[in-house]
Amino acid sequence: MSIPVFLLTGFLGAGKTTLLNAALREPALANTAVVVNELGEIGLDNLIIAEATDNVVLLDGGCLCCANTGALHETLGDLAARRAAGTLPPFERVIIETSGAADPAPLLNVLLGHPIVTGSYRLHATVCVVDAQHFLASRASHPELDKQAALAERIFISKRDLADPAPVLQALRELNPEAEIVQSFTDAFAASDRAHKMPGSLFDSGRIKPHGQAGGIRAYSFRLPDSITWAGWSAWSRFVAAEFGARLIRVKGLLRMQDTGEIVFVQGVQGVFHKPQRFAEWPGGNSGNRLVCIARDLPESRIEATLPALSTAAGTQASYSTEDLAERKARQ
């Protein structure tokens, strides 16, 4: 069985250290491996160190900490090999802490698509710590705050005792309406299938609902027809990767492929799309094709105009231009 991975992000001083240290003390999170990014801030000195082997430190409570001194996929591959050989405790999950100023997108692409990683691990959720005291005031000067929050499946709001979290929560709902706002340390790293569920409230009206501020990061939700095909998914993902690139920050969708009847969870990060995950039935019981796109500096009309490509006839290898898609939409 694949080992679940949690990617922990959050801006400088947001409280990742507090969250992680508190989480590792919970019995439910025993047997956790923590991979600390080379420029990471997490300090685990206050946890009792039992022993050290090479660059892996065994911590009290059955956890271990590993410094990521090379490529992330190499570090994870080494941990998996040593776990299989019995030279490390059989950890049950991995938490990867990123540096406060880091763009999590490249790490997400490694976790979702590198064969060394996907052979032993599965990305369970990206967890972002948001500082209630400074988030709103810092967004304009530090755009990475919005991106970290936009890429997250789970968000933990820290420093609630120092500032009213309500305005921050409203901003996060506009920025990333799909994210789950977690209330406790253990909820942040809980093993559930919530990361693969698309909240039905995003799609109640059956039309696009834009969120966020114009000119920045916005989230768009789409209800799609029943005519989605594998050829359409291939054509659409190639087109938007070439047309929008890194401006299309995150794509997530649940689709039933008309040609095969398969239900799949699809996702992409900054123009890189990864192997879909197949389901026997609709997760959560909410049927119907839907897609969430989180983008920077892209109006909804630009993304909406690409959607006809998803209905490309099965068995064809279509390649579209902006003009082709405009004509196709006009015919619908």
6-22 pLDDT tens trace = 999 999 889 887 888 88
pLDDT at 89 over 80: yes
More confident: 105 or 17: 105
Count of domains observed in the chain = 2
Same domain, yes or no: 233 and 248: yes
| Spatial CA neighbour of 110 closest among 102, 92, 101, 122 | 122
CATH code of the domain in which 311 resides: 3.30.1220.10
Same domain, yes or no: 215 and 184: no
Same domain, yes or no: 162 and 218: no
Under 8 Å between Cβ of 128 and 149: yes
- pLDDT, residue 111, reads 95
- pLDDT, residue 61, reads 66
Same domain, yes or no: 175 and 227: no
Q: Which domain holds residue 164?
A: 3-196
pLDDT at 45 over 70: no
Same domain, yes or no: 40 and 149: yes
Sheet holding 64-67, edge to edge: 49-53, 56-59, 64-67, 32-36, 93-97, 3-10, 121-131, 154-158, 180-182
Domain closes at, from 196, 230, 251: 196
Same domain, yes or no: 189 and 260: no
pLDDT band at 36 (very low <50, low <70, confident <90, very high): confident
- pLDDT, residue 332, reads 62
Half-sphere exposure of 216 (CA within 13 A, CB side): 17
- pLDDT, residue 212, reads 43
Considering Cα of 193, then 18, then 77, then 70, what sign does the dihedral take?
positive
- β strands within 198-328, DSSP E: 211-212, 217-223, 248-256, 263-269, 272-273, 277-279, 290-296
Same domain, yes or no: 182 and 226: no
Give 125-175 pLDDT, tens digit per residue.
999 999 999 999 999 889 889 999 999 999 999 999 999 999 999 999 988
Same domain, yes or no: 30 and 108: yes
Give 284-299 pLDDT, tens digit per residue.
777 899 999 999 999 9
pTM, two decimal places: 0.84
Alpha-carbon distance 242 to 31, whole Å? Answer: 42
Same domain, yes or no: 207 and 182: no
CATH code of the domain in which 131 resides: 3.40.50.300
Same domain, yes or no: 178 and 65: yes
Same domain, yes or no: 309 and 279: yes
Alpha-carbon distance 23 to 151, whole Å? Answer: 21
Same domain, yes or no: 225 and 292: yes
pLDDT at 210 over 60: no
Q: What is the chain's mean pLDDT, rounded? A: 84
Calculate mean pLDDT across residues 93-103: 86
Residue 178 CA from chain centroid, whole number: 11
Alpha-carbon distance 263 to 248, whole Å? Answer: 23
More confident: 319 or 233: 233
Domain closes at, from 163, 196, 229: 196
Task: Work out the percent of the chain whose per-residue pLDDT is above 90.
Answer: 55
Domain closes at, from 139, 174, 196: 196
- pLDDT, residue 38, reads 53
pLDDT at 203 over 70: no
Under 8 Å between Cβ of 257 and 230: yes
